[in-house]
Each structure stands twice: as structure tokens, then as C-alpha cells.
Structure 1
Amino acid sequence: MGAPSTTATTPGSTDQRWYRIRGGAPLHGSVEASGAKNSVTKLMVATLLTPAPCTLTRVPRIAEVDVVLGMLTELGTHVEWLDEHTVRLTTERIADASLSEAYSGVNRIPILMMGPLLHRVGEAVIPLPGGCRIGKRPVDFHLAGLRAMGAEIVEQVRSVQVKTLGLRGTHVALPFPSVGATENLLLAAVRAQGTTVISNAAVEPEVVDLILFLQQMGALVDVEADRTIVVQGVDRLRGATHAPIHDRIEVASFAAAAVATDGRIEVVGARQDHLMTFLNHLRRLGGEFEVTPRGMTFFRARALEATHVQTDVHPGFMTDWQQPLVVLLTQARGASVIHETIYEDRFGYTRQLAEMGADIALSTLCLGGKSCRFAARDFEHSAVVSGPTPLTGVDLTIPDLRAGFAYVLAALSADGTSVIRGTRFLERGYEDPVGKLRSVGAQVETDPVPADRVAADRVAADQVPAVH
């Protein structure tokens, strides 16, 4: 079993130890949103369900994609890049159903491979997943659902052993509409014997994108009312070609950058239907948008004003939109409240924003108007942001992917220069962030890693908790 392959240079990748950003300049121009990381990586796993070739276009050249391709290669997948953003994946046979423990804690993708491997060879050994330092994010829902479908599971310290004589359809009621658990059950159900009903399922655009790909492969999947997904199992799936959705998190990130700097940015590939809740809050705050033939343009319509936001599952306000919004709220007049209901420990990044001058108070109370599952559990999952407060450039260290762009946004809004370290987190989820920022006028300098140290840095990056 090999270790993760992370040394190949990919077009569009960047190898920086830090960014130096000078703030205070409005951003103007156009950027194109990449394919959604949270969709592409799951689509790659789905290709394991068939021995036929599958082609994915609009694939972002980011480190997280490289990591998943390394996993697939280890399992027996042939990877062929047809152009800079198009990859063909063919898994004629599973060479090894035991994924290396080197991937333990790297990201949450391995746990999604259980269903496809059980269908292909009847067994698998999968390392336990990792994730951003934003909460425990257990896999109990995943394992309980697979057990109900007939999988025998033995949990070990760093891995999970699974085997089956054949998965069968069943009714799984998820205690929480978990995106990962829904995707896992979908991947297991499409080739299971009989019908699987997933109640309280996640219905995020990325989940729907996976369903559309599976349907092209020959799966029978119905999305019904009240978060119910019904899957009728089929004997085999064929190859397919699919263009993943654009990354709605990246879209929101650049939308926030336009509003924060009082600039104007068109994001090519932005879709209003994927952003409805975000757009409502952006407008209440003082931002505005226009739909264009290529996507959407974002800008500031008036002075920013405080607002109240509660994160929730789709179609609610996405938890990954929370961080750039908090930076915007530091420049809004009044006291804003953000209630985080998805992850219990996602406000740690605000402490460094406070060093820049932000006035952010954390609370263990549910301040969003209703109680959530973290009520009375001593988690600081609400924040009160008072503003406007001028931000001053400082040295920052990125703790996780989504906090990474929030720090970039804060640096762009600040007076003076900020140095941001830990950029590998950002680059695992954002394709060519420096190039895109420069294209809209951001003043960003970087510290390139010498060629003889690139491989070592990339290996080190794969030992840290993964992106969400």
C-alpha cells in the first residue's frame, strides 16, 4: 500500500508560505468560479461504482483533488487528464480494497468509499476521516445506515473494516440531515438489492449534483418532499460524462470581497438559485447583485447595517458562508448576531480578527431566535459583532480553509499590510486564489517555495486536518 501521492505539480496551483496583502483598495473585475470542491470529490468517488470510464469536466486544480486522486489510484483507478480541467477515471478492477492508513485524518472522503467497494469486491478497510477543526463531525450516521443495509462493520482505532454478502435496500431515518451521511447512503443504495428510503436527507446543491451524475450512470433516484430520497437499486452502472456545479462557496467569497472593499466583481458561473439565502442576507446588510449572461455581479448598494443570521442546512444560510459574512459585519453599523447551528466550534478564527480591531463577543447561548442541538452544551456557537470598527493589518495564521478566505477578506478591508501564513489550507479548496485576487485588483505578494522544497511542503500539507 502506497502513501498519498502529492508531489505532482498541477496547473493553476500555487506554492506559497505566506501572502502579503495591502488593504484599502476597491476590487473591480471578473473571476470565474471553479468547479465545486464539495461536489467534485464526491463525484470522483462515485466513479468507483462502475468499471467503465467516467469523465469529469470543470475539475479544479487544487490540492484536495490531488489527494482524492491519490486515494483512487491506490485502489486501482486509472487517472488520465484530458485537458487542464477534464479528467477521465477508469476503475476496471479494484486492485486493493484496503486504503492506506496514511490517509487517516487527511479528509472525510475515504468513508464515502465503503459502499462502492462493498459493491465491487464485498469488503474494504477504510481509514477514519478527518476534517477542519470546527467540531467533532462523527461518522455514526454513516455506519448505522450501512449496518442497516447489511454491512458488517468492525471499528478499529484508525480504520473501519467492512464486508458484506450483498447490500440490501432499507429505510434509514437520519437524526440530522448530514450531507456526508446522505452521500454515503446514496453511493451504497444505487446498486443495493431493493429500494432504499433516506428520510431527513440533505438536499444541498452538491448532493443533487451527485444524484444527477448517478442518474446519468443509470441509477434510479427520486428526490421527494420533506427531505426524502428514494433509491431503487440497479444491477450495474455505466460510465458517464458530467460537468460539476460551480463552487457556491467561492462565489460568496468573491461577492463578499466586492461588498467589503466597495468594489464591483462579476463572478462567472454564479447561480442565483444556489445562493438565494445568501443573497437575501447580503441585501439586508447593504450589498446588492445583478444577474448577468455569464453569472452574477456583486457590489455595495449603501452603507452596511447590522443584521442577524442563523446558519442552517440547505436551503438555509450555509455554514461555509458564515466566515466572510462575519468580516462584512465588522464594517456594519450596529450589533449583528450570528448563530451557528451546524458545527459547535466554528468561531475560533474570530480571535485573530479581534487582533485586527474587530469587536466580536462569543456566547454559549443560542442567540438566533431558536434553540439548536448545541443548547446548554457549553459550546461558543453564537457571536455578536459590533461595528463598524476599522481593521488594521496584522500577521495572521490560517486555522482552516473557510477561515482562510475570511482572513484574506479582512486583510483586503484593513488599513495597512497583513501577512497571512498557513496558506496551504486555503489552497486546498480555492483554485489559484492569488491569481484570481490579482485579476480584480488585489495587491497580493507571495513567498514562492523553492522547487526543491515544493514536494516536502505538499506532503506536510496532507498531514494537517483537511478542508470542509
Structure 2
Amino acid sequence: MHGEMNFIVDGGTPLSGEVETSRSKNGAVALLAASLLNRGKTTLHHVPKIEEVKRLIEVLTSIDVEVVWQGSSIVITPPEKMSLDTIDAAAANRTRAILMFIGPLIHLFTSFSIPQSSGCTLGLRSIRQHLWVLEKLGVRIETLTDHYQITHDALAPATIVLYEASDTATINALLAAAKIPGTSVIKYASANYQVQEVCGFLGALGVKLEGVGTSTLCVTGVKDIKQDIEYSVAEDPTDAMFFITAAIATKSALTVTKAPIEFLEVELFVLLKMGLQFSLTDAGVSENGITKLSDIHIKESELIAFPEKIHARPYPALNIDNLPFFAVIATQAKGTTLIHDWSYEKRAIYYTELDRLGAITNLHDPHRISIEGRRELKAAEVICPPALRPATIILVAMLGASGRSTLRNVYS
């Protein structure tokens, strides 16, 4: 894409009605990687048409995988023989999700390389978790100047202990173990929504899994997978959280439908203690048969600061990707809110950009920030932060800021 893309936001207007939760970006990219395990045709429904999905599809088509859009569905057909010689390095470099290709590709090649990944600018993001996870299964990964070199002699089931509950490292372990006959055990695994999404997909492919939704996963792999399968991407808890925050920022009554409620329970608990009035109604289960859904009916509310620090932890605690929204929410809560964003080296620094919209923040260090409320936000021009979640909170704050705001260079 050439030139600068800007968003113009006319804010300060109350919202009304209802909005349906979109499907999960993180789930979709994990399923794209998982599709490489299947020698049959994979059809994924309700795939979000966003940049990271497009980048991974560019990578897939560059290695001769056929990917065809049919509305919001994609049909993925693998080639008889795959070659990585023509891999689209530029597309791969733009998304950290390319790391999840390692797990399935080890079943196609004993030696191969993939381009190094980048993704959001959030400080140092090590790949050691992936190295340590996969080496237990017999895989060696060497980090070189612009690519990762992956080799193995023989793959064998193993017990894997994660140093921390990384979503993508857990998924890589799942995808690697899925086609290794025997039972592998993944301890201290992430149980986050995209991990459960992959577990549902693998189960539909015939891989036996135990412990889904817990921190210990048992995976009994199969030697080969070749079947035509259809699977639907589930709803995105961070999308639901965006609209919850938008309702608060614009002082609105709003209904967020089909929210994946089990991945929002702690967020809603914190908001309840801050004074948010809302109610829930059952909305059934997503098409994957796993993800429980609820409609969230939000009333206009007067908020107060949460009396404890707000911080994220691995599921089932407050989601790391939902934590930034509380920076915007804090501007509308009377008192001082302390947010501890321990997981990324730089992310809390980006929250100070809310000051341009009239917020009052106090950055204590790269991880801790205090935010004063209640503030009337005002329109401003802001350069988009080079990271998805911080950019999103600037956008949602602009919805609550009276006047016309500009979020510049959103394609950074």
C-alpha cells in the first residue's frame, strides 16, 4: 500500500442499538497455520478480512497452497508437493504469526528455513519459548540474520514444560505434536481462546486431546491427516471489549451480541466493581461447539477507579490484549487508576498518547501508569502507534472525544 492512510473520527456522539462481535483474528491466523497439517481440503468460515490474515494467505499461496475466498470463507487446498523456495519473505516478515508455521512444517521437511518475523513494535519479544518447546520433540531451531533454520532427525512424543504460558508457543507445540504418533504432554500451557480454537480444529481432524481449557494438555498424535473439513472461526473477546469500551467512552447504552463470555469474565468483574451497569443473556454456543456466547447489555453508568492495580494474567485471568482498553476506561472513572502492563517492554508508554485527547496520565516506568478520571476527552490529531492494541485504544478514545479527530498513518 502506498501513501499514508488516516482515520477521521467525528466523536462525542452517543451510540445506541446493538453490535455483533466479530470473529477472532488470533484464532484465524492460528487456524491458517494448522491447515498445513491437513493433506485434504480445509474450509474455514467467518474469516476476518484483515491485514494479518491477508499476509499469511500471501505466504501460503507463495508456497503453492491454493487459497480461494468464498464470501467470508476460505477454501485451502495443499499441493501434492510443497516447496519453500518461493516463500514470500516480505509478507512473512510482517507477522509474528509466521512462527506457528514451524509446527506443521516439520512434518513436511527435515530441514527448512522461514523468514524472521516482526509484527507489532512492543519491545523485545523472544522466540526462546518456541525453541525450548520444539526441541523437546526433537526439533532444532537456529536464529540467523534474517531467517530461522529448522532441522530434525526424528520426531518423538515428549513431556513439554513451558517457561510461561505463551499462546503461540502452546499452539506450535500442539501443531508439532498433532502428527507425532504417541502422547505428548504440554504443561503450563496457555488455555487462551486461540489455543482452544486450535484444539477444536485438531479434534475435528481426529487428533485426541485431553485437558482443553486447562494448563495441561495431552495430545495423542496421528501419523497422517487427510480429510476434507469445514470449521468456523469463533468470536473475538478483544472485539467485544472494544465495543464495551466504546460504550463507556461515549456514555452510551449499547448491546454487544455474541460475546465469548468465558474470556471476558474477569474484565466484566473489574468493570462491575468500577460501577458499570450491565446484564447478560445467553446467546448459545459458537459454530465450533466450544465457545460459549452471551449478549452483554450495557447501561450508561458513572464509574469510579478500581481500588486495586489492574493487570493481566494468562487465561482465565484478565486477557493481556484487553488490558489496554482499561486505559481509556480509566479516563471516565472518578479517581486514580493504576495499570500494570508487565507483559510488554514498551506498551504502557503508548498509553501516554491519550494525553493528546485530554487525558491525564503519569508514567511511573515502562510498565506502570496511573490515569486520572473523570475527564472530558477532546478531539486531536495523533500519529498512530506502531502496535495494534495501543492504536485501537486511541481510536476508541477518539469516539468519546467531542469534535473531529485524526488518527494518522494507521498502516504503519
TM-score, with length taken from structure 1:
0.80
- Which ranges of structure 2 fall in alignment gaps of 5 or more residues? 284-293
Shift of 1:169: 0.9
Deviation, 1:290, is 2.6
Residue of structure 1 equivalent to 2:406:
419
* Counterpart for residue 442 of structure 1: none
Give the letter for the 1:266 counterpart: T
Match of 1:441 in 2: none
Does the aligned pair in 2 maintain the 1:94–1:120 contact within 8 Å? no
Partner residue in 2 for 1:58: 46
2:244 corresponds to 1:255? yes
Tell me the residue number matched to 2:353.
352
- Output the amino acid matched with 1:183: I
Task: Give the structure 2 partner of residue 158 of structure 1.
Answer: 146
What secondary structure, in the 3-state scheme, does the structure 2 residue paired with 1:28 have? coil
How far did residue 159 of structure 1 move? 0.6
Give the Cα separation in 2 of the matches to 1:253 and 1:395: 21
Which residue of the partner structure matches residue 295 of structure 2? 296
Distance 1:94 1:73, change over 3 A: farther
C-alpha contact 2:196 2:212 (8 A) present in aligned 1: no
Other-structure match for 2:291: none
Residue aligning to 1:311: 312
Post-superposition offset of 1:351? 2.4
Q: Pick which of 324-333 and 235-244 moved more.
A: 235-244
- Tell me what 1:323 maps to: 324
- SS across alignment from 2:190: coil
CA distance in 2 between partners of 1:352 and 1:152 (Å): 42
Deviations 1:119-166 (A, max 9, x none): 023332111221211232211110122122112333211111112233
Q: Write out per-residue CA displacement over residues 245-298 of structure 1, whole angstroms, 9 at most, x where no aligned residue.
A: 111101100011112212122223213222111111122222233334654234
Q: Which residue of 2 aligns with 1:388?
A: 374
- 8 A contact 1:59–1:85 mirrored in 2: yes
- Counterpart of 1:409 in structure 2 is 396
Deviation (angstroms), 1:225: 8.5
Cα distance between partner residues in 2 of 1:23 and 1:300: 19
Q: Distance in 2 between matches of 1:90 and 1:204?
A: 28
* Structure 1 segment 65-464 matched on structure 2, within 5 A: 65-82=53-70, 84-98=71-85, 99-103=87-91, 105-223=93-211, 227-237=215-225, 238-292=227-281, 294=283, 295-307=294-306, 308-364=309-365, 380-399=366-385, 400-424=387-411
Q: Which amino acid aligns with 2:134?
A: L
Give the deviation of 1:200 after TM superposition.
0.7
Letter of the 1:269 partner, please give it: K
Q: 1:137 to 1:243 in 2, by over 3 A?
A: same
Of 31, 38, 55 in structure 2, the residue corresponding to residue 43 of structure 1 is 31
Q: Contact (CA 8 Å) 1:17, 1:422: kept in 2 or not?
A: yes
CA contact (8 A) 1:221 1:231 kept: yes
Given that 1:251 and 1:267 are in contact with CA atoms closer than 8 Å, whether structure 2 keeps it comes out as yes
- Aligned to 2:347, the other structure's residue is in SS state coil
**Aligned partners of 1:360 and 1:386 also within 8 Å:** yes
Summarize deviations over 1:284-330 as a string: whole Å, max 9, x none. 22223333465423424531100131111111111211222211111
The question of whether the paired residues in 2 share the 8 Å contact of 1:255 and 1:298 is answered with: no
Amino acid across the alignment from 1:359: I
Higher mean C-alpha displacement, 87-96 vs 33-42 = 87-96
Cα separation, partners in 2 of 1:216 and 1:224, compared to 1, 3 Å = closer
Moved more, 348-357 or 303-312: 348-357
Please tell me whether the aligned partners of residues 258 and 298 of structure 1 are also in contact (alpha carbons under 8 angstroms): no
Distance apart, 1:53 and its partner CA: 0.2
**Which structure has the highest strand share of the two?**
2
Deviations 1:31-65 (A, max 9, x none): 22221000011101111112100111011111221
Task: Calculate the aligned-residue CA RMSD, in Å.
Answer: 2.0
SS of equivalent to 1:39: helix
Q: Is the 8 A contact 1:53 1:88 kept in 2?
A: yes
Q: Give the distance between the partners of 1:169 and 1:211, measured in 2 at CA.
A: 17
CA contact (8 A) 1:259 1:298 kept: no
Distance in 2 between residues matched to 1:16 and 1:304, nearest whole Å:
37
Tell which deviates more after alignment, 25-34 or 221-230.
221-230
Partners of 1:253 and 1:222 lie apart in 2 by 32
Deviation for aligned residue 1:224: 6.5
Q: Which has the higher contact order (CA 8 A, sep 6+)?
A: 1
Percent identity between the two aligned chains: 28
Relative to structure 1, is the Cα distance of residues 332 and 168 closer, same or farther in structure 2, using a 3 angstrom cutoff? same
Moved more, 270-279 or 102-111: 102-111
- Give the partner amino acid of 1:119: H
**Deviation, structure 1 residue 183:** 0.5
The answer as to whether partners of 1:104 and 1:159 remain within 8 angstroms in 2 is no
Aligned to 1:370: none
For residues 80-121 of structure 1, give each alpha carbon's deviation from its aligned partner in whole angstroms, at most 9, with x where no partner exists: 223x11111111334313434324531112211112111023
**Which secondary structure does the structure 2 equivalent of 1:168 belong to?**
coil
Preserved CA contact (<8 Å) 2:304 2:335: yes
The amino acid of 1:89's aligned partner reads I
Post-superposition Cα deviations, 1:388-418, rounded to whole Å, max 9, x if no partner, equal 1222211011112112221122112123221
Instruction: Give the secondary-structure state (helix, strand or coil) at the position aligned to 1:269.
Output: strand
Shift of 1:386: 1.3
Amino acid at match of 1:257: A
Contact 2:55 2:92 in 1 (8 A): no
The range that moved more, 28-37 or 97-106, is 97-106
Shift of 1:205: 1.4
Counterpart of 2:286 in structure 1 is: none
